[in-house]
Chain A
Amino acid sequence: MMQNKDIKRLSLYLLFAPFALWIILLVILPHIGMVVLSLKEKIAPRVYEYSFANYLEFLHEPIYWNTLLRTGSMSLLVTALALLIGFPIAYYIAKIAGPRSRGGLFLLCLIPLWVSDLIRAFGWILLLRETGVISNFLLWTGLIGEPVEFLYNDVAVIVGLTYTVILFMIVPLVSTLDGMDNAMIEAGYNLGGSGFTVLRRIIIPYAMPGIVAGCIVTFMLTAGSYLTPILLGGKNSSWFTEQIYNQFITRFNWEGGAAFGMLLLFFTSLVIWLGLKLSGQTLANTVAKS
Chain B
Amino acid sequence: MLVQKKATPFLLGYRLYVVAFFIFLAAPLISAGAFAFNDSLFPALPWQGFTLDWFFGDTEPKLGMFHDRRLLQGLYYSFVIAIFVSALSVFVGTTNAFLFVRGEFPGKNFFYIMMVVPLVIPGVILGISILVLASDTANYVENRFDLELEFLRPGILLVVVGQFSFIATITSLVITARLKKFDETMEEAAFNLGASRARVLRTITLPFLRPAMIAAGIVAFLVSFENFNTTLFLVGSEAPLTITMYDRMAKVGSTPVLNAVSFFLMVGSGLLALLSIVIQRDRSGH
Chain A positions near chain B (C-beta within 8 angstroms):
7, 12, 14-16, 18-19, 22-23, 26-27, 29-31, 33-34, 37, 85, 88-89, 91-92, 95-96, 105, 107-120, 122-127, 131-133, 136, 163, 167, 182, 185-186, 195, 198-199, 203, 216-217, 220-221, 223-227, 231, 241, 244-245, 248-249, 254, 257-258, 261, 264-265, 268-269, 272, 283-284, 287-288
Whether A34 contacts B129 by the Cβ 8 Å rule is yes
A26 touches which of B109, B128, B164 (Cβ 8 Å): B164
Whether B95 contacts A15 by the Cβ 8 Å rule is yes
A126 touches which of B1, B32, B113, B131 (Cβ 8 Å): B32
**Bound-complex Cα distance A231 to B130 (A):** 26
**Bound-complex Cα distance A87 to B164 (A):** 31
**12 residue pairs bridging A and B, Cβ less than 8 Å apart:** A15-B98, A16-B105, A19-B92, A95-B2, A108-B22, A111-B274, A114-B222, A116-B265, A124-B28, A133-B31, A133-B44, A284-B109
Q: Which residues of B contact A109 (CB under 8 A)?
A: 25
Whether B125 contacts A224 by the Cβ 8 Å rule is yes
Q: Which residues of B contact A167 (CB under 8 A)?
A: 25
Report B205 CB to chain A, min CB distance, Å. Answer: 13
Q: Which residues of A contact B130 (CB under 8 A)?
A: 26, 30
When C-beta atoms are compared, the residue in chain A nearest to B161 turns out to be A26
**B217 interfacial contact with A, CB 8 Å:** no
**Bound-complex Cα distance A22 to B161 (A):** 9
**Bound-complex Cα distance A30 to B132 (A):** 7
**Bound-complex Cα distance A136 to B11 (A):** 33
Q: Which residues of B contact A14 (CB under 8 A)?
A: 95
Q: Which residues of A contact B32 (CB under 8 A)?
A: 119-120, 122-123, 126
Whether A261 contacts B266 by the Cβ 8 Å rule is no
- The answer to whether A123 and B28 touch (CB under 8 A), given A85-B21, A248-B233, A261-B124, is yes
Q: Which residues of A contact B96 (CB under 8 A)?
A: 15, 18-19
- The answer to whether A37 and B228 touch (CB under 8 A), given A110-B277, A114-B273, A136-B45, is no
Whether A123 contacts B27 by the Cβ 8 Å rule is yes
**B187 interfacial contact with A, CB 8 Å:** no
B residues 24-61 with Cβ under 8 Å of A?
Answer: 24-25, 27-32, 35, 42-46
New A-B pairs, 12, CB < 8 Å, besides A19-B95, A122-B32, A123-B262: A27-B121, A34-B129, A34-B133, A113-B273, A114-B269, A115-B266, A117-B226, A119-B29, A122-B28, A203-B2, A241-B124, A288-B116
Main SS of the interface on chain A?
A: helix
Please provide the 5 A-B residue pairs with the shortest distance between their CB atoms, ordered closest to farther: A224-B122, A123-B28, A30-B129, A123-B32, A116-B226
**B189 interfacial contact with A, CB 8 Å:** no
**B81 interfacial contact with A, CB 8 Å:** no
**Bound-complex Cα distance A18 to B44 (A):** 50
Whether B2 contacts A264 by the Cβ 8 Å rule is no
Q: Which residues of B contact A227 (CB under 8 A)?
A: 228-229, 246
Report B163 CB to chain A, min CB distance, Å. Answer: 10
Report A215 CB to chain B, min CB distance, Å. Answer: 11
**Bound-complex Cα distance A182 to B5 (A):** 13
- The answer to whether A224 and B249 touch (CB under 8 A), given A120-B29, A122-B32, A185-B2, is no
